[in-house]
A and B are shown apart, each in its own frame.
Chain A
Protein backbone atom coordinates (compact mmCIF):
# COMPACT_ATOMS: atom_id res chain seq x y z
CA UNK A 1 0.00 0.00 0.00
CA UNK A 2 1.56 3.34 -0.95
CA UNK A 3 2.59 5.48 2.00
CA UNK A 4 0.10 8.18 2.76
CA UNK A 5 1.13 11.76 2.23
CA UNK A 6 1.38 13.82 5.42
CA UNK A 7 -1.73 15.77 4.67
CA UNK A 8 -3.67 12.55 4.42
CA UNK A 9 -2.72 11.57 7.99
CA UNK A 10 -3.25 14.80 9.77
CA UNK A 11 -6.11 17.22 9.32
CA UNK A 12 -4.97 20.46 7.76
CA UNK A 13 -4.73 23.32 10.26
CA UNK A 14 -7.75 25.56 10.23
CA UNK A 15 -6.92 28.88 8.66
CA UNK A 16 -8.28 31.85 10.63
CA UNK A 17 -8.49 35.29 9.18
CA UNK A 18 -6.53 37.55 11.55
CA UNK A 19 -8.62 39.90 13.66
CA UNK A 20 -6.53 42.90 14.55
CA UNK A 21 -7.35 44.82 17.71
CA UNK A 22 -7.92 48.51 17.09
CA UNK A 23 -7.18 49.48 20.68
CA UNK A 24 -6.20 48.13 24.06
CA UNK A 25 -8.71 46.12 26.05
CA UNK A 26 -8.79 43.53 28.79
CA UNK A 27 -11.19 40.62 29.10
CA UNK A 28 -11.65 39.41 32.69
CA UNK A 29 -14.24 36.69 32.85
CA UNK A 30 -13.96 33.96 35.48
CA UNK A 31 -10.83 31.97 34.61
CA UNK A 32 -10.34 33.64 31.23
CA UNK A 33 -8.15 36.73 31.31
CA UNK A 34 -6.82 38.24 28.10
CA UNK A 35 -4.87 41.46 27.91
CA UNK A 36 -5.26 42.85 24.39
CA UNK A 37 -2.97 45.50 22.97
CA UNK A 38 -3.67 47.56 19.88
CA UNK A 39 -2.50 45.59 16.87
CA UNK A 40 -2.81 42.16 18.50
CA UNK A 41 -4.38 39.33 16.54
CA UNK A 42 -7.45 38.38 18.57
CA UNK A 43 -8.75 35.67 16.25
CA UNK A 44 -8.05 33.13 18.98
CA UNK A 45 -10.41 34.83 21.45
CA UNK A 46 -13.33 32.49 22.21
CA UNK A 47 -16.40 33.23 20.16
CA UNK A 48 -18.46 34.14 23.24
CA UNK A 49 -16.42 37.35 23.60
CA UNK A 50 -16.46 38.46 19.98
CA UNK A 51 -19.70 40.41 20.33
CA UNK A 52 -18.22 42.22 23.30
CA UNK A 53 -15.14 43.10 21.30
CA UNK A 54 -17.34 44.47 18.51
CA UNK A 55 -19.42 46.55 20.93
CA UNK A 56 -16.24 47.93 22.50
CA UNK A 57 -14.85 48.83 19.09
CA UNK A 58 -11.88 46.50 19.45
CA UNK A 59 -12.62 44.70 16.18
Chain B
Protein backbone atom coordinates (compact mmCIF):
# COMPACT_ATOMS: atom_id res chain seq x y z
CA UNK B 1 0.00 0.00 0.00
CA UNK B 2 1.44 3.35 -1.03
CA UNK B 3 1.67 6.26 1.31
CA UNK B 4 -1.31 8.65 1.04
CA UNK B 5 -0.78 12.04 -0.60
CA UNK B 6 0.20 14.56 2.03
CA UNK B 7 -2.44 17.07 3.06
CA UNK B 8 -0.96 20.49 2.32
CA UNK B 9 -2.18 24.00 2.94
CA UNK B 10 -0.97 26.92 0.83
CA UNK B 11 -1.71 30.63 1.03
CA UNK B 12 -4.96 32.32 1.93
CA UNK B 13 -7.90 32.97 -0.36
CA UNK B 14 -10.63 34.67 1.67
CA UNK B 15 -12.35 35.19 4.97
CA UNK B 16 -16.15 35.31 5.01
CA UNK B 17 -17.89 36.43 8.23
CA UNK B 18 -21.55 35.65 8.78
CA UNK B 19 -24.33 36.64 11.14
CA UNK B 20 -24.70 33.96 13.82
CA UNK B 21 -28.43 34.55 14.14
CA UNK B 22 -29.52 34.55 10.50
CA UNK B 23 -26.54 32.89 8.85
CA UNK B 24 -26.33 35.72 6.29
CA UNK B 25 -22.88 36.66 5.08
CA UNK B 26 -21.60 40.13 5.94
CA UNK B 27 -19.41 40.07 2.86
CA UNK B 28 -16.02 38.69 1.93
CA UNK B 29 -12.44 39.73 2.59
CA UNK B 30 -10.19 38.83 -0.32
CA UNK B 31 -7.36 41.31 -0.14
CA UNK B 32 -5.70 39.51 2.71
CA UNK B 33 -2.14 39.47 3.90
CA UNK B 34 -2.98 36.47 6.05
CA UNK B 35 -5.62 34.77 8.13
CA UNK B 36 -4.48 32.23 10.66
CA UNK B 37 -6.00 30.29 13.50
CA UNK B 38 -3.90 29.98 16.63
CA UNK B 39 -4.66 27.22 19.07
CA UNK B 40 -2.03 27.09 21.79
CA UNK B 41 -2.53 24.92 24.78
CA UNK B 42 -0.80 24.27 28.04
CA UNK B 43 -0.60 21.30 30.27
CA UNK B 44 -1.15 21.53 34.02
CA UNK B 45 1.73 19.61 35.52
CA UNK B 46 1.90 18.08 38.97
CA UNK B 47 5.28 18.73 40.58
CA UNK B 48 6.25 17.60 44.04
CA UNK B 49 8.89 16.22 46.29
CA UNK B 50 12.42 15.97 45.05
CA UNK B 51 11.45 14.81 41.61
CA UNK B 52 12.62 17.08 38.87
CA UNK B 53 9.92 15.70 36.62
CA UNK B 54 6.17 15.96 36.66
CA UNK B 55 4.20 13.25 38.46
CA UNK B 56 1.26 13.85 36.23
CA UNK B 57 -0.07 16.16 33.56
CA UNK B 58 -3.52 17.15 32.47
CA UNK B 59 -4.98 19.36 29.78
CA UNK B 60 -4.93 23.04 30.50
CA UNK B 61 -6.84 25.71 28.63
CA UNK B 62 -6.31 26.32 24.94
CA UNK B 63 -5.90 29.90 23.81
CA UNK B 64 -7.88 30.05 20.60
CA UNK B 65 -7.56 33.07 18.39
CA UNK B 66 -7.89 34.08 14.75
CA UNK B 67 -5.57 36.75 13.40
CA UNK B 68 -6.36 38.64 10.25
CA UNK B 69 -4.28 40.91 8.07
CA UNK B 70 -6.82 42.61 5.80
CA UNK B 71 -5.62 45.06 3.18
CA UNK B 72 -9.13 46.22 2.34
CA UNK B 73 -11.70 47.92 4.53
CA UNK B 74 -15.28 46.87 3.68
CA UNK B 75 -18.12 48.24 5.77
CA UNK B 76 -18.50 45.07 7.85
CA UNK B 77 -15.00 45.41 9.29
CA UNK B 78 -16.13 48.59 11.03
CA UNK B 79 -19.26 46.86 12.28
CA UNK B 80 -17.52 43.75 13.61
CA UNK B 81 -14.34 45.30 15.01
CA UNK B 82 -15.25 48.92 15.80
CA UNK B 83 -18.82 48.37 16.87
CA UNK B 84 -20.68 50.53 14.38
CA UNK B 85 -22.13 49.84 10.95
CA UNK B 86 -21.25 52.59 8.46
CA UNK B 87 -23.75 54.66 6.51
CA UNK B 88 -23.34 54.14 2.80
CA UNK B 89 -24.43 57.20 0.83
CA UNK B 90 -25.73 57.04 -2.71
CA UNK B 91 -24.31 59.15 -5.54
CA UNK B 92 -24.44 62.93 -5.05
CA UNK B 93 -24.53 64.53 -8.47
CA UNK B 94 -24.28 68.02 -7.02
CA UNK B 95 -21.99 67.15 -4.15
CA UNK B 96 -22.87 67.73 -0.52
CA UNK B 97 -22.40 70.66 1.82
CA UNK B 98 -23.16 69.87 5.44
CA UNK B 99 -24.99 72.14 7.85
CA UNK B 100 -22.78 74.89 9.21
CA UNK B 101 -22.55 74.83 13.00
CA UNK B 102 -20.97 77.11 15.55
CA UNK B 103 -17.71 75.83 16.97
CA UNK B 104 -16.39 78.71 19.09
CA UNK B 105 -19.01 81.21 20.17
CA UNK B 106 -22.56 81.55 18.97
CA UNK B 107 -22.72 84.46 16.52
CA UNK B 108 -21.28 83.11 13.27
CA UNK B 109 -24.29 80.91 12.60
CA UNK B 110 -27.71 82.50 12.87
CA UNK B 111 -29.60 85.70 12.19
CA UNK B 112 -26.64 87.99 12.94
CA UNK B 113 -24.21 85.94 10.88
CA UNK B 114 -24.55 83.14 8.38
CA UNK B 115 -27.93 81.47 8.05
CA UNK B 116 -26.68 78.60 5.94
CA UNK B 117 -24.01 77.36 3.55
CA UNK B 118 -24.90 75.46 0.39
CA UNK B 119 -23.57 74.39 -2.97
CA UNK B 120 -23.33 77.24 -5.49
CA UNK B 121 -25.49 76.32 -8.47
CA UNK B 122 -23.40 76.02 -11.59
CA UNK B 123 -20.15 75.71 -9.63
CA UNK B 124 -20.68 72.31 -8.04
CA UNK B 125 -17.71 70.96 -9.98
CA UNK B 126 -15.52 73.18 -7.78
CA UNK B 127 -16.68 71.58 -4.53
CA UNK B 128 -13.58 70.27 -2.77
CA UNK B 129 -13.61 67.45 -0.27
CA UNK B 130 -12.80 68.37 3.30
CA UNK B 131 -13.56 70.34 6.42
CA UNK B 132 -13.91 74.12 6.41
CA UNK B 133 -13.63 76.63 9.24
CA UNK B 134 -15.34 80.02 9.03
CA UNK B 135 -13.95 82.70 11.31
CA UNK B 136 -15.44 86.11 11.91
CA UNK B 137 -12.72 88.56 10.85
CA UNK B 138 -14.92 91.47 11.94
CA UNK B 139 -18.58 92.07 12.71
CA UNK B 140 -19.64 91.66 9.07
CA UNK B 141 -16.80 89.76 7.40
CA UNK B 142 -15.43 86.24 7.55
CA UNK B 143 -12.34 84.37 6.55
CA UNK B 144 -12.52 80.74 5.44
CA UNK B 145 -9.99 78.00 6.16
CA UNK B 146 -9.71 74.60 4.44
CA UNK B 147 -8.37 71.45 6.06
CA UNK B 148 -6.01 70.03 3.43
CA UNK B 149 -4.65 70.60 -0.05
CA UNK B 150 -5.58 67.00 -0.90
CA UNK B 151 -8.42 68.14 -3.15
CA UNK B 152 -7.42 71.76 -3.79
CA UNK B 153 -7.11 71.31 -7.53
CA UNK B 154 -10.61 69.94 -8.07
CA UNK B 155 -12.45 72.08 -10.61
CA UNK B 156 -11.06 75.60 -10.39
CA UNK B 157 -7.77 75.53 -8.50
CA UNK B 158 -7.97 76.89 -4.99
CA UNK B 159 -5.00 78.48 -3.25
CA UNK B 160 -3.87 78.88 0.32
CA UNK B 161 -3.09 82.44 1.37
CA UNK B 162 -0.80 81.50 4.23
CA UNK B 163 0.22 78.76 6.64
CA UNK B 164 -3.02 79.01 8.61
CA UNK B 165 -4.73 77.32 5.62
CA UNK B 166 -6.77 80.42 4.89
CA UNK B 167 -8.31 80.41 1.41
CA UNK B 168 -9.81 83.92 1.35
CA UNK B 169 -7.48 86.62 0.01
CA UNK B 170 -9.59 89.25 1.82
CA UNK B 171 -12.35 88.75 4.37
CA UNK B 172 -15.69 88.14 2.69
CA UNK B 173 -18.61 90.43 3.43
CA UNK B 174 -21.75 88.80 4.77
CA UNK B 175 -24.90 90.77 4.07
CA UNK B 176 -28.36 90.23 5.47
CA UNK B 177 -30.43 87.67 3.58
CA UNK B 178 -28.19 87.63 0.54
CA UNK B 179 -25.60 85.22 -0.83
CA UNK B 180 -21.85 85.51 -0.63
CA UNK B 181 -20.31 83.24 -3.21
CA UNK B 182 -17.05 81.35 -2.78
CA UNK B 183 -17.05 80.36 -6.44
CA UNK B 184 -13.66 78.66 -6.66
CA UNK B 185 -14.74 76.29 -3.92
CA UNK B 186 -18.27 75.71 -5.17
CA UNK B 187 -20.29 76.95 -2.20
CA UNK B 188 -22.03 80.08 -0.96
CA UNK B 189 -22.97 81.59 2.36
CA UNK B 190 -26.46 82.99 2.86
CA UNK B 191 -26.58 85.81 5.34
CA UNK B 192 -28.92 85.74 8.28
CA UNK B 193 -31.90 88.06 8.61
CA UNK B 194 -29.57 90.66 10.03
CA UNK B 195 -28.36 93.10 10.88
CA UNK B 196 -25.08 91.21 10.55
CA UNK B 197 -23.10 91.59 13.76
CA UNK B 198 -20.77 88.68 14.49
CA UNK B 199 -18.23 88.62 17.28
CA UNK B 200 -14.71 88.81 15.92
CA UNK B 201 -12.79 85.58 16.41
CA UNK B 202 -15.76 83.28 16.72
CA UNK B 203 -15.85 80.28 14.40
CA UNK B 204 -18.11 77.76 12.73
CA UNK B 205 -17.40 74.61 10.73
CA UNK B 206 -18.90 72.57 7.91
CA UNK B 207 -17.90 69.70 5.61
CA UNK B 208 -18.03 69.35 1.85
CA UNK B 209 -18.17 66.29 -0.38
CA UNK B 210 -17.51 66.87 -4.09
CA UNK B 211 -19.75 65.52 -6.84
CA UNK B 212 -19.41 61.79 -6.25
CA UNK B 213 -20.63 58.35 -7.19
CA UNK B 214 -20.91 57.30 -3.56
CA UNK B 215 -19.45 57.77 -0.12
CA UNK B 216 -19.32 56.08 3.26
CA UNK B 217 -19.26 57.58 6.69
CA UNK B 218 -19.10 56.12 10.18
CA UNK B 219 -18.68 57.71 13.61
CA UNK B 220 -16.83 55.49 16.04
CA UNK B 221 -16.57 55.75 19.78
CA UNK B 222 -19.99 56.51 21.17
CA UNK B 223 -20.43 54.68 24.46
CA UNK B 224 -24.16 54.39 23.90
CA UNK B 225 -23.98 53.36 20.27
CA UNK B 226 -21.30 50.68 20.02
CA UNK B 227 -22.13 47.01 19.63
CA UNK B 228 -19.46 44.44 18.91
CA UNK B 229 -21.37 41.39 17.66
CA UNK B 230 -20.19 37.82 17.82
CA UNK B 231 -19.94 36.38 14.35
CA UNK B 232 -19.13 33.17 12.51
CA UNK B 233 -16.54 33.05 9.77
CA UNK B 234 -15.20 30.81 7.04
CA UNK B 235 -11.50 31.05 6.24
CA UNK B 236 -10.38 29.53 2.94
CA UNK B 237 -6.84 28.68 1.94
CA UNK B 238 -5.75 29.16 -1.65
CA UNK B 239 -7.01 26.46 -3.98
CA UNK B 240 -4.05 24.36 -4.98
CA UNK B 241 -3.12 23.40 -8.52
CA UNK B 242 -4.49 19.90 -7.91
CA UNK B 243 -7.86 21.48 -6.86
CA UNK B 244 -7.29 20.63 -3.20
CA UNK B 245 -9.23 22.99 -0.91
CA UNK B 246 -9.06 23.63 2.79
CA UNK B 247 -11.59 25.72 4.72
CA UNK B 248 -12.04 26.36 8.39
CA UNK B 249 -15.45 27.41 9.71
CA UNK B 250 -15.18 29.22 13.02
CA UNK B 251 -18.57 29.12 14.70
CA UNK B 252 -18.26 31.85 17.29
CA UNK B 253 -15.79 34.75 17.02
CA UNK B 254 -15.50 38.00 18.91
CA UNK B 255 -13.15 40.78 17.98
CA UNK B 256 -12.54 44.36 19.04
CA UNK B 257 -10.25 46.97 17.56
CA UNK B 258 -9.21 47.83 14.00
CA UNK B 259 -5.99 49.72 13.38
CA UNK B 260 -6.18 52.15 10.47
CA UNK B 261 -2.67 52.72 9.20
CA UNK B 262 -1.46 55.33 6.72
CA UNK B 263 2.10 54.54 5.70
CA UNK B 264 4.29 56.41 3.26
CA UNK B 265 4.08 54.86 -0.19
CA UNK B 266 2.59 51.66 1.16
CA UNK B 267 -0.77 49.98 1.05
CA UNK B 268 -2.62 50.10 4.32
CA UNK B 269 -2.72 46.81 6.19
CA UNK B 270 -4.43 46.14 9.49
CA UNK B 271 -3.65 43.39 11.95
CA UNK B 272 -6.66 42.33 13.93
CA UNK B 273 -7.49 39.45 16.22
CA UNK B 274 -10.69 37.68 17.15
CA UNK B 275 -11.22 35.27 20.00
CA UNK B 276 -12.60 31.87 19.09
CA UNK B 277 -15.29 30.71 21.48
CA UNK B 278 -17.13 27.47 22.09
CA UNK B 279 -20.47 27.28 20.29
CA UNK B 280 -22.87 25.13 22.30
CA UNK B 281 -25.30 24.66 19.40
CA UNK B 282 -22.52 23.26 17.23
CA UNK B 283 -20.78 21.67 20.22
CA UNK B 284 -17.53 22.82 18.66
CA UNK B 285 -15.24 25.81 18.22
CA UNK B 286 -14.51 25.24 14.56
CA UNK B 287 -14.75 22.79 11.69
CA UNK B 288 -11.77 21.96 9.51
CA UNK B 289 -12.68 20.74 6.04
CA UNK B 290 -10.32 19.37 3.40
CA UNK B 291 -11.68 18.41 0.00
CA UNK B 292 -9.88 16.81 -2.92
CA UNK B 293 -12.33 17.15 -5.82
CA UNK B 294 -12.29 14.50 -8.46
CA UNK B 295 -13.59 16.78 -11.20
CA UNK B 296 -12.54 20.24 -12.37
Binding site for B on A (CB under 8 A): 26-30, 33, 48-49, 51-52, 55-56
Residue B197 at the chain A interface, CB threshold 8 Å:
yes
Contact with A along B110-142 (1 / 0, CB 8 A): 000000000000000000000000000011110
Interface set, chain B 22-60, CB cutoff 8 A to A: none
A27 to B172 alpha-carbon distance, docked (Å): 7
With A49-B173, A52-B175, A55-B140 given, can you name 9 additional A-B contacts, CB distance below 8 Å? Answer: A26-B170, A30-B179, A33-B170, A48-B175, A51-B176, A51-B195, A52-B140, A52-B173, A52-B195
B18 to nearest A CB, angstroms?
A: 56
Residue of A nearest to B169 (CB): A28
A55 to B200 alpha-carbon distance, docked (Å): 12
Given contacts A28-B171, A51-B194, contact A56 B139 (CB under 8 A): yes
**What are the 9 closest A-B residue pairs judged by CB atoms, nearest first?**
A52-B140, A29-B173, A28-B170, A55-B139, A51-B195, A27-B173, A30-B181, A55-B197, A28-B172
A53 to nearest B CB, angstroms?
A: 8
A-B contact pairs, 13 of them (CB 8 A): A26-B170, A27-B173, A28-B171, A28-B173, A29-B180, A30-B180, A48-B175, A48-B176, A49-B173, A49-B175, A51-B196, A52-B173, A52-B196
Query: Chain A contacts of B173 at CB under 8 A?
Result: 27-29, 49, 52
Contact size class for B? 10 to 19
Interface set, chain B 171-219, CB cutoff 8 A to A: 171-173, 175-176, 178-181, 194-197
Q: Tell me whether chain A's interface is mostly helix, strand or loop, or mixed.
A: mixed
Which of B140, B172, B180 has the most A CB atoms < 10 Å from its CB? B140
A28 to B189 alpha-carbon distance, docked (Å): 13
Query: Chain A contacts of B178 at CB under 8 A?
Result: 48
Residue of A nearest to B168 (CB): A28
A56 to B141 alpha-carbon distance, docked (Å): 10
The answer to whether A56 touches B138, judged by C-beta atoms less than 8 angstroms apart, is: yes
Query: Chain A contacts of B175 at CB under 8 A?
Result: 29, 48-49, 51-52
Query: Chain A contacts of B180 at CB under 8 A?
Result: 29-30
A56 to B196 alpha-carbon distance, docked (Å): 10
Residue of A nearest to B176 (CB): A51
Residue of B nearest to A25 (CB): B138
